[in-house]
């Protein structure tokens, strides 16, 4: 922006904005924190605070450039996750999963996967090609959604989080131990 512009000119002044609750960007909990390996508590209260939390989780996920984020990853032991495989490009792709369950799975795809709580590490994980998930939205309304490929993988990965399971638990013992050792080293160096 030019330093010669003034806010007094109505033609260039910013339009008044609709009042919206400011979004909170949560720091992402990293591997090593016990909350990541603990099953979340069911979501029991569907209110404005929960809707706000879901929006804050989307904002936190986009800020971290993720396609899914589960409540334990922001330090909340709650069966709540958000998924958007478009990275915020399509508002209709925003999916809130409260108390989700996989009710059908089909096919197998082996693909590389990563996790916002284990930054810098990836590994090949076998996931179903299609899954159908039953969940509630932020208002508590039940719905079913079918996902294919990346979306199916994101559903499985986030539901794993709600059960205290991380993607590295699906890797071979060798690969998992290698990642654990590297993280231990990073932690010693104060880089984790």
Which residues, in sequence order, are bridge partners of residue 102? 133
Smallest separation (angstroms) from Zn ion to the CB of 166: 7
Burial class (CB in 10 A: 0-12, 13-18, 19+), 151: buried
- Least Å distance between CB 25 and Zn ion? 17
Residues that bind Zn ion (CB under 5 A): 115
Give bridge partners of residue 134 from the DSSP assignment.
101, 144
Q: How far apart are CA 192 and CA 187, in angstroms?
A: 5
If the CB atoms of residues 37 and 46 are measured against Zn ion, the closer one turns out to be: 37
- The single residue of 51, 106, 141, 158 carrying the catalytic annotation is 158
**Is the Cβ of residue 26 or residue 141 nearer to Zn ion in the bound state?**
26
Q: How far is the CB of 117 from Zn ion (least distance, A)?
A: 5
Complex with Zn ion: residue 78 or 115, whichever CB lies closer: 115
Q: What whole-number distance in Å separates Cα of residue 20 and Cα of residue 139?
A: 18
Minimal CB distance residue for Zn ion: 115
| Closest alpha carbon to 68 in 138, 156, 145, 140 | 156
Cβ closest to Zn ion, residue 59 vs residue 170: 170
Maximum pairwise Cα distance, the chain: 65
- How many CB atoms are closer than 10 A to CB 95? 24
Q: Is 17 a catalytic residue?
A: no
Closest Cα to residue 108, out of 160, 155, 153, 165?
153
We find the least distance from the C-beta atom of residue 73 to Zn ion, in angstroms, to be 6
Active site residue ranges: 158
């Amino acid at each position: 922006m030019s330093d010669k512009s003034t806010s007094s000119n109505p033609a260039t002044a910013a339009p008044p904005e609709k009042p919206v609750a400011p979004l909170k960007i949560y720091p992402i909990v990293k591997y090593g924190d016990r909350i990541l390996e603990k099953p979340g508590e069911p979501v029991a209260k569907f209110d404005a605070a929960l809707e706000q939390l879901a929006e804050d989780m989307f904002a936190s996920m986009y800020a971290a450039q993720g396609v899914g984020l589960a409540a334990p990853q922001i330090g909340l032991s709650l069966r709540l996750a958000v998924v958007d495989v478009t990275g915020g490009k399509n508002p209709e792709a925003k999916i809130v999963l409260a108390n989700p369950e996989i009710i059908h799975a089909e096919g197998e795809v082996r693909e590389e996967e990563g996790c916002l709580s284990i930054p810098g590490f990836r590994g090949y994980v076998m996931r179903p090609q299609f899954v159908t998930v039953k969940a509630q939205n932020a208002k508590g309304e039940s719905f079913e959604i079918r996902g294919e490929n990346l979306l199916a993988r994101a559903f499985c990965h986030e539901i794993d989080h709600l059960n205290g399971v991380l993607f590295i638990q699906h890797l071979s013992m060798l690969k998992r131990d290698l990642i654990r050792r590297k993280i231990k080293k990073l932690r010693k160096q104060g880089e984790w």
